[in-house]
């Protein structure tokens, strides 16, 4: 397997290809991609995502990139619902099981996708990050399964700390997510 640096260096050239924006394959399937990586490279990948964003989001760029961090969005949703400050108190008073139950009542894919749709205007590519940070409150396959409703022609790259074999997702190389087969591996 290639090292992480050579895999990361292939992302921007792929994003610059015309076929990246147009869809993939004979039927122009949805342009959902997963960049999977070993979880130990999380900080390196985060830095590289910022680099990608800078590479494309300048005035004359023909492609604008939206970085959609699931964890930041979870905190934003908690703020919107007026419960952000109470989250910490809840965990301290009632424990992590109570926190999990409370968070999963509003950490629904539809709410995340509504937030994404609010921010999507003017962007040509979406980079989804924060998959590991938001676990177990929201699962990546739930976002992917509902994503097509929000993004019709916009390519999406999900940065995934774990393994994707083209059929199933294994978060942190440990937790088996439900099968998801509509995304392509961005870099083999």
Condensed to tens digits (0 to 9), the pLDDT of residues 32-83 reads 999 999 999 999 999 999 999 999 988 888 889 999 999 999 999 999 988 8
Q: What total of structural domains would you count in the chain?
A: 1
Question: d(Cα 105, Cα 110) in Å, to the nearest integer?
Answer: 12
pLDDT band at 4 (very low <50, low <70, confident <90, very high): very high
Q: Which of 80, 137, 142, 131 is closest to 109 using CA atoms?
A: 142
Determine, yes or no, domain membership for 16. no
Please report the pLDDT score of residue 26 as a whole number. 44
Most confident of 103-107, 118-122, 140-144: 118-122
pLDDT digits (tens, 9 = 90+) for 74-108: 999 999 988 888 888 888 899 888 888 888 888 88
Domain CATH number, residue 87: 3.40.50
Determine, yes or no, domain membership for 19. no
Determine, yes or no, domain membership for 103. yes
Determine, yes or no, domain membership for 110. yes
The DSSP-derived string for 126-167 is EEEE-HHHHTTTS-HHHHHHHHTTT-SS--EEEEEEEEE-SS
> What domain range is 144 assigned to?
4-11+31-185
Please report the pLDDT score of residue 178 as a whole number. 64
Determine, yes or no, domain membership for 22. no
Residue 135 CA from chain centroid, whole number: 12
Q: Are 107 and 138 in contact (CB under 8 A)?
A: yes
Determine, yes or no, domain membership for 91. yes
133 or 82, higher pLDDT:
133
pLDDT band at 18 (very low <50, low <70, confident <90, very high): confident
Q: Are 45 and 37 in contact (CB under 8 A)?
A: yes
């Amino acid at each position: 397997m290639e090292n992480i640096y050579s895999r990361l260096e292939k992302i921007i050239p792929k994003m610059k290809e015309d076929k990246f924006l147009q869809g993939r394959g004979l039927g122009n399937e949805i342009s959902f991609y997963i960049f999977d990586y070993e979880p130990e490279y999380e900080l390196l990948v985060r830095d590289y995502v910022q680099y990608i964003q800078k590479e494309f989001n300048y005035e004359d760029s023909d492609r604008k990139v939206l970085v959609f961090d699931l964890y930041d969005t979870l905190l934003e949703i908690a703020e919107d619902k007026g419960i952000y400050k109470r989250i910490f108190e809840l965990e301290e008073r009632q424990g992590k099981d109570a926190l999990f139950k409370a968070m999963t009542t509003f950490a629904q894919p539809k709410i995340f996708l509504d937030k994404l749709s609010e921010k999507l205007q003017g962007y040509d590519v979406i980079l989804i990050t924060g998959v590991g940070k938001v676990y177990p409150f929201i699962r990546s396959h739930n976002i992917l399964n509902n994503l097509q409703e929000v993004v019709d022609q916009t390519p999406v790259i999900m940065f995934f700390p774990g393994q994707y074999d083209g059929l199933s997702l294994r978060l942190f190389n440990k937790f088996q997510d439900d099968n998801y087969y509509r995304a392509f591996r961005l870099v083999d």
